[in-house]
Structure 1
Amino acid sequence: MITIDLDSPEPLFNQLINQIKLAIQKGLLKPSDPLPSIRKLSSELDLNAKTVTKAFRLLERDKVIETKGYRGTFVHPDALQNLSSDIHEWLDDQLQETINKLRDAGATDSEIRIAFKKALSTQTN
């Protein structure tokens, strides 16, 4: 049911995310349906396991799928409502709010860029 176009300019993990979301939207995958393991899916699609892992993590973050320990990965009960979750829109809003606060405090755009670049380059765990 999932097909990946290796020649497409769209990143492989993004293709996988979109394919899973489409299957949920069309009702081919329903809430609580099991998904193949990362190992099995990467083998079937001839993808690196890290690519599948990245897709699964992003889908889990958006509550489209859920991992239940050793029992496996399943379609989230609220997957249909969460399909339109857009982290990019949220990030834009959060960044704009923060930038506005920094500007109101008197920081210049140049200072904000330097601080942002420094913050991104700092490793945190």
Structure 2
Amino acid sequence: MEIKVDIDSPEPLFAQLIEQIKDAVKDGYLKPGDALPSIRQLANDLELNNKTVAKAYRLLERDSVIQTKGYRGTFIHPAALENSKTDMSAWVLEQITATVTACRTEGATDSEIRIAFGHAMQAHGGG
């Protein structure tokens, strides 16, 4: 499997990595237990910042597509195929869209929605 990123794409680089790894799992190129390159190695191979690859790996691990086994490395998660079918960004957008629609239906202004969203993020540890 070869990973390529397009620095001219409007899609963030970390999101491109996530999508390609999930696609490789769904297409059968990566199977449970397969090893992935280290963050440093992949960053060097793709000429990216380590933090970009680390963010992609962190989100893939959150979604149980990959798992890190300490110094032994990073591997494809046993449940990766099923978990690769979930698009967290799409889910979040769906939830927020429904909430914004409900607020507008009740007459809330965009300014009121933005302010409330900011307060909710702060109240729950967001920034």
TM category (shorter chain) comes to: 0.7 to 0.9
Show CA shifts across 1:38-81 (max 9, x none): 00100010000110011111111111111112211100111111
- Structure 2 counterpart of 1:44, which letter? D
Q: Distance in 2 between matches of 1:119 and 1:27?
A: 40
Q: Secondary structure at the match of 2:75?
A: strand
TM-score normalised over the length of structure 2? 0.77
CA distance in 2 between partners of 1:83 and 1:42 (Å): 22
Count of residue pairs the alignment pairs up: 121
Q: Cα offset for 1:94?
A: 5.3
% identical equivalent positions:
55
- Cα 1:83–1:90 shift into 2, 3 Å: same
The 5-angstrom pairing of residues 1-125 of structure 1 reads: 1-92=2-93, 95=96, 96=98, 109=108, 113-121=114-122, 124=125
Partner Cα distance (2:9, 2:69) in 1: 32
In the TM superposition, residue 83 of structure 1 has moved relative to its aligned partner by 1.1
Report the secondary structure of 2:64's partner residue.
coil
Task: Tell me the CA shift for residue 114 of structure 1.
Answer: 2.6
Quick one: which amino acid aligns to residue 81 of structure 2? Answer: L
Deviation of the 1:22 alpha carbon:
1.8
| Matches of 1:33 and 1:4, distance apart in 2 | 21
Q: What TM-score do you get using the length of structure 1 for normalisation? A: 0.78
Which letter maps to 1:65?
Answer: I
Deviates more, 1:8-17 or 1:42-51: 8-17
Letter in 1 for 2:116: A
CA shift in 2, pair 1:122/1:50, >3 Å: farther
In structure 1, runs of 5+ residues without a counterpart are none
Tell me the C-alpha RMSD between the 2 structures.
2.7
